[in-house]
């Protein structure tokens, strides 16, 4: 009965909730680019202020990077910790956006309304679903249902450099929680909610190959002078073998075979690989040749070049033989693959492949192992039932191809388990131009959290 009142309140308040989200989306909190540092802080302040408007004691916590937002609701019973991130991805290539990424709006789309703008789905829209559920709960009941810690990060899209030190320094404060709720994942399929039970880890490396000590004219030097682009392309081309396996020595140490029960469970999900690839103009799974598309995403590690550059890249042509060539490479990790061991092996592999006269230098970005959730905890099944009540289809336990290292850190540093629940869709174009979040995701998302709060407290 009281849950119904909260749900009704959420329905009635949806226009105001949408306006609030648009306000947050207008702040260009791109964490990876130092030019947006003040905007990141502004987004953090916006959130702390919004929590305070719910009577929650909340403040910013400075870090060497962007601030954390921490808020506490006291109370008795199961203590929940809710996590989301307020930072967003860069917006390039800007010319592919149909609209200013930071001038969001609600648009009509073939399958219903969408909220369009950078961060709509990743992760501002998602984190607001929980805040809105709390707002409605408070409006109906006068207080929240039990002790809740709010914890918002501003560096998730840039490798979370401050996260581990912050968790370690504030362990006593944050480890008071019993269970974490992390809202940064998606539905399994339209109308099918999901709890993510395993996530890939990630290792991010940036490599620079240097040949000649200056840019040269390819007429005067082409032939005898080594071209670092040629060296880099040869090294990167060798990252995969003919079967699509990653060639870094020792890379597959700790990669488990999929347990038969999980394989059967995943097969029962009826994943539409053809539709999944077809949505982005593709038709053939390009990963390891002996693995299904779903395995390639959820349970197999990868190596991807996320960026490459060197020489002249402007309009026209310039016959330069450049001094340097660069690449950003990420590895998605599974099982117990050790990111630091792989970093070492990758760097050694690059060094070993260098010809005379070339040197390599490296910058390590993020490094986090894969995560496996504690699905034995009855909270998982309670949350799954709550989700199933809200959505047209039964909720599923799924894997995830992305990397949300926070779950691993909550386990290893705070010793609390995490429930990964989110409402994004495959076509949300997160990290891409024209990112959007379905109004259905936003609306059913906040209703889902109300049901989960009801079930878990």
Closest approach of a copy of itself to the CB of residue 21, in Å: 21
User: What is the DSSP code (8-state) at residue 157?
Assistant: G
Closest approach of a copy of itself to the CB of residue 422, in Å: 12
Mapped onto helix, strand or coil, the DSSP state of residue 41 is helix
Closest approach of a copy of itself to the CB of residue 281, in Å: 3
- Report phi then psi at 216, rounded to 5: -120, 165
Nearest CB to a copy of itself, comparing residues 3 and 320: 320
Closest approach of a copy of itself to the CB of residue 199, in Å: 9
Nearest CB to a copy of itself, comparing residues 97 and 150: 97
Closest approach of a copy of itself to the CB of residue 162, in Å: 14
Closest approach of a copy of itself to the CB of residue 312, in Å: 4
Please give the Cα distance from 406 to 418 (Å, whole number).
Answer: 9
* H or E element in which residue 275 lies: helix 273-278
Please give the Cα distance from 153 to 133 (Å, whole number).
Answer: 20
Nearest CB to a copy of itself, comparing residues 165 and 222: 222
203: which strand partners?
Answer: 331, 367
Closest approach of a copy of itself to the CB of residue 326, in Å: 7
Nearest CB to a copy of itself, comparing residues 231 and 452: 231
**Number of other CB atoms surrounding residue 360 within 10 Å:** 17
Nearest CB to a copy of itself, comparing residues 107 and 170: 107
Please give the Cα distance from 179 to 343 (Å, whole number).
Answer: 32
Nearest CB to a copy of itself, comparing residues 132 and 184: 184
Closest approach of a copy of itself to the CB of residue 280, in Å: 4
Nearest CB to a copy of itself, comparing residues 147 and 301: 301
Please give the Cα distance from 156 to 88 (Å, whole number).
Answer: 8
According to the 3-state scheme, what is the secondary structure of 174-238? Answer: HCCCCEEEECCCECCECCECEEEEEECEEEEEEEEEECCCCCEEHHHHECCECCHHHHHHHHHHC
Nearest CB to a copy of itself, comparing residues 205 and 390: 205
Please give the Cα distance from 207 to 195 (Å, whole number).
Answer: 36
* H or E element in which residue 130 lies: helix 124-141
Closest approach of a copy of itself to the CB of residue 94, in Å: 12
Buried b vs exposed e over 338-353: b needs ≥16 C-beta within 10 Å?
Answer: bbeebbebbbebbeee
Cα angle for residues 416, 47, 88 (degrees, 5° grid): 80
Beta strands in 62-178 (DSSP E): 68-73, 80-85, 105-109, 112-116, 148-153
83: which strand partners?
Answer: 151, 182
Nearest CB to a copy of itself, comparing residues 147 and 400: 400
């Amino acid at each position: 009965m009281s849950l119904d009142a909260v749900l009704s309140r959420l329905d009635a308040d949806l226009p105001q909730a949408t306006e609030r989200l648009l306000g947050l989306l207008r702040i260009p909190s791109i964490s990876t680019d130092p030019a947006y540092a003040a905007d990141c802080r502004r987004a953090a302040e916006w959130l702390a202020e919004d929590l305070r408007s719910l009577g929650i004691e909340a403040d910013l916590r400075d870090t060497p990077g962007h601030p954390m937002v921490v808020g506490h609701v006291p109370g008795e019973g199961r203590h929940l910790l809710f996590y989301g991130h307020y930072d967003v991805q860069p917006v390039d290539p800007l010319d592919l956006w149909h609209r200013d990424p930071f001038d969001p709006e609600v648009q009509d789309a073939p399958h219903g309304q969408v909220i369009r703008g950078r961060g709509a789905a990743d992760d501002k829209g998602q984190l607001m679903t929980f805040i809105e559920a709390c707002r409605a709960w408070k409006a109906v009941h006068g207080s929240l249902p039990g002790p809740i810690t709010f914890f918002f990060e501003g560096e998730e899209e840039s490798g979370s450099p401050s996260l581990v030190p912050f968790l370690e320094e504030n362990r006593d404060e944050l480890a008071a929680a019993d269970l974490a709720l992390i809202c940064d994942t998606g539905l399994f399929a339209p109308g099918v909610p999901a709890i993510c039970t395993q996530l890939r880890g990630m290792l991010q490396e940036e490599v620079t190959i240097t040949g000649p000590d200056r840019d040269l004219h390819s007429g005067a030097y082409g032939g005898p002078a080594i071209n670092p682009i040629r060296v880099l392309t040869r090294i990167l081309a060798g990252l995969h073998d003919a079967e699509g396996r990653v060639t870094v020595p020792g890379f597959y140490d700790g990669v488990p075979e999929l347990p038969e029960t999980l394989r059967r469970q995943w097969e029962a999900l009826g994943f539409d690989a053809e539709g999944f690839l077809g949505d982005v103009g593709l038709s053939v799974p390009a990963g390891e040749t002996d693995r299904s598309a779903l395995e390639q995403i959820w349970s197999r590690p990868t190596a991807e070049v996320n960026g490459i550059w060197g020489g002249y890249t402007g309009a026209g042509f310039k016959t330069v033989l450049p001094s340097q060539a660069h690449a950003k490479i990420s590895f998605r990790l599974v099982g117990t693959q050790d990111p630091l061991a792989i970093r070492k092996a990758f760097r050694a592999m690059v060094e070993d492949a260098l010809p005379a006269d070339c040197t390599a230098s490296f910058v390590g970005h993020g490094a986090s192992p894969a995560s496996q959730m504690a699905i034995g905890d009855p909270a998982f099944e309670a949350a799954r039932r709550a989700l199933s009540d809200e959505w047209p289809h039964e909720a599923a336990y799924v894997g995830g191809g992305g990397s949300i290292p926070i779950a691993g850190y909550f386990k290893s540093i705070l010793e609390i388990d995490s429930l990964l629940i989110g409402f994004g869709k495959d076509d949300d174009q997160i990290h891409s131009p024209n990112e959007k979040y379905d109004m259905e995701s936003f609306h059913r998302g906040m209703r889902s959290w109300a049901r989960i709060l009801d079930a878990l407290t």
